[in-house]
Each structure stands twice: as C-alpha cells, then as structure tokens.
Amino acid sequence: MRRKLAPIYAFTLLLALLTPIFSQSSSINRARFDSARERRIAQAAETLRPQLIAQRRDFHMHPELSNREERTSRIVAERLRALGLTDVKTGVGKYGVTALLVGAKPGATIAVRADMDALPIQEVNDVPYKSQVAGVKHACGHDAHTTVGLGVAEVLSKMRGEISGTIKFIFQPAEEGAPAGEEGGAKLMIKEGAMDNPRPSAIFGLHTLPSIEAGQIAYHSGAAMAASDRFFITIKGKSSHGAQPHTGVDAVVIAAESVMALQTIHSRRIDPQEALVITIGQIQGGRRYNIIADEVK
C-alpha cells in the first residue's frame, strides 16, 4: 500500500453508502454536497465515539486467532440483531457473520466488510486494554475494523429511511489465513454463500494504516493491498566430505544461488508497473560444518 493514496474524510464512506450509486452515478455528487446530511452523519459518529472506543478495547483485550473467533463473532451477531438488522447469519465460513440492512427505498445491494481475527504475537504494550490472551494480539488492527463495521451498521441503521437498496454487512474470520489443514477466510465464506441472496454489486472494506492521520481515510484506484502466497522449495543434493566437494552435489550452494535468482522473477518477468515482493523467509539445510549438504529447504 505504498502507492499514491489520497486521504479523504472518513464519513465520505458513509455518504457513499447512502447514495444509490449504481442506479444514478450523478447522485454521488449530490450526496457529497449535502452538507446537512454530512453533518448529521459526522454527529452520529461523534456520539458513538466513547462506545466504539470501549468496544474496540474490549475486542483488543480478547483477541482470537484465525478460525477461532467465537467470542468476537458472537458479540458482532448480538449487536447486529440489537440494531434491527435482518437475516443475521452466523457460522458462515466457520465464525463468519452476515446481516442485511434493507433500506426504505429500492436500489442495489452493496456490502461493508470487516475482518475479525488476531495474530499469534505477544502483546508488550503496557496499556489498560492490553491483550488478556497470552501470545495472541490484535496487531493488525482487525479489532478496529470490526468496531468500524459495527459503527457503520449503527449509524446507518438509524437512517434506514434514506437508504436506497440494501447494505449487506460481512464480518470475516481468518483473514490472516486459516490454520494448516483448515479452510477459511473470504474464500470459505463465499463458498458458503456469503455473496448470494442478495449478491452485492460492490464491497466496501478498509484497513487501518498508522501513517494516515486519525479521522482520514486514503483510497487508491486499482489494487491497494497485496495478496500473499507461500511456496516451499526443497533442493536435493548429494552429501560428501567437505574436503571433497567434487564428489558431492552441494545443496547449500544451489540454495544460495536460487535465493538470488528468484529475485529476477520480479526484475525480469513481471511488468515494472506491477507490485510484487518475493521474500525467502526461512532456510534450513546441512548437517555438519564439514559435510557437503544433501538437502536444503
């Protein structure tokens, strides 16, 4: 997310959600200059501030790993029901939650999506709302995302009469990746129908970024965040005595050359305008200082 990001005020998101953008694109401009509505939204958000800070800290104190978001999703579902949202579904892709806010006027369906999982990192910050779970921490800000999703739902649930169309709220587990051997994340939610009945025409999501000032959001046309894929390579050589390298095949030397050669995928195989990072994060091999290594992973 290092490209030119243009900061705009946070409630533009709310304005966009209140506008039937897919039936009348010109109404985006109308909404943007509807200062009375803008003020009402800002005021509603401001009123919610203490409640949302408390909610975010509660999530922060009770972080849950990917595909284990039992408590978080329960609180989310309870809150969405309390706000009067309909068709609140739980257990969509493990602990995923979806709900509908049906506007008073006809229109398209759009979705607002937030992720809920934390990371296996020990919290070292000494704050009153420090993580109470050893070795687990909301280090990526998904506690904030979940809270923002609930805040948007709350503000919009009180403006139902002005909403054209339907807003689908999607709270997603396992954004950080499901544990080994498990399915999870957006893919599993989609597989289990999160994008059907009704199917959204567009999805709004966000991610916290400490370099952007609080109260502002930044956007980017095209891809803003990367997907990550992992790969494993095993190099098989042939061991021999360290003093007789010519009788073996040194997997360490091959691995060393491979690490550098892999970087040419970026410099020689990919369009320079495309964003790509190749990281070799782990390397293991060899058995003893004086034996030519027969395997490196």
Task: State the minimum distance, in angstroms, from the CB of residue 141 to Zn ion.
Answer: 6
Catalytic residue (one of 115, 117, 143, 250): 117
Binding residues among 121-180 for Zn ion as defined by CB under 5 A: 140
Task: State the minimum distance, in angstroms, from the CB of residue 242 to Zn ion.
Answer: 45
- Between 140 and 283, name the residue whose CB sits nearer to Zn ion: 140
* Residues 6 or more apart whose Cβ sits within 8 Å of residue 98: 87, 88, 89, 92, 168, 169, 170, 171, 189, 194
Give the span between the Cα atoms of 125 and 119, in whole angstroms.
Answer: 15
Other C-beta atoms within 10 Å of 222: how many?
6
- Find the farthest-apart pair of alpha carbons in the chain and give their distance in angstroms, rounded: 82
- Between 1 and 253, name the residue whose CB sits nearer to Zn ion: 1
Give the span between the Cα atoms of 173 and 114, in whole angstroms.
Answer: 9
What b/e sequence results for 167-203 when a residue is b if at least 16 CB atoms lie within 10 Å of its CB, and e otherwise?
A: bbbbbbbbbbebeeeeebbbebbbebebbeebebeee
- Between 139 and 253, name the residue whose CB sits nearer to Zn ion: 139
Q: Residue 145: what residue type?
A: H
Q: Is 58 a catalytic residue?
A: no
Task: State the minimum distance, in angstroms, from the CB of residue 296 to Zn ion.
Answer: 32
Residue nearest to Zn ion as judged by C-beta position: 140
- Between 140 and 259, name the residue whose CB sits nearer to Zn ion: 140
Task: State the minimum distance, in angstroms, from the CB of residue 16 to Zn ion.
Answer: 22
Other C-beta atoms within 10 Å of 206: how many?
20
For residue 78, which of 50, 60, 55 has the smallest C-alpha distance? 55
- Between 103 and 185, name the residue whose CB sits nearer to Zn ion: 185
Catalytic residue (one of 123, 143, 175, 294): 175
Task: State the minimum distance, in angstroms, from the CB of residue 125 to Zn ion.
Answer: 17
The size of the interface with Zn ion (CB under 5 A), counted in residues, is 1
* Residues 6 or more apart whose Cβ sits within 8 Å of residue 87: 98, 99, 100
Q: Is 115 a catalytic residue?
A: no
User: Contact positions toward Zn ion, by CB under 5 A?
Assistant: 140
Q: Please give the positions annotated as active site.
A: 117, 175
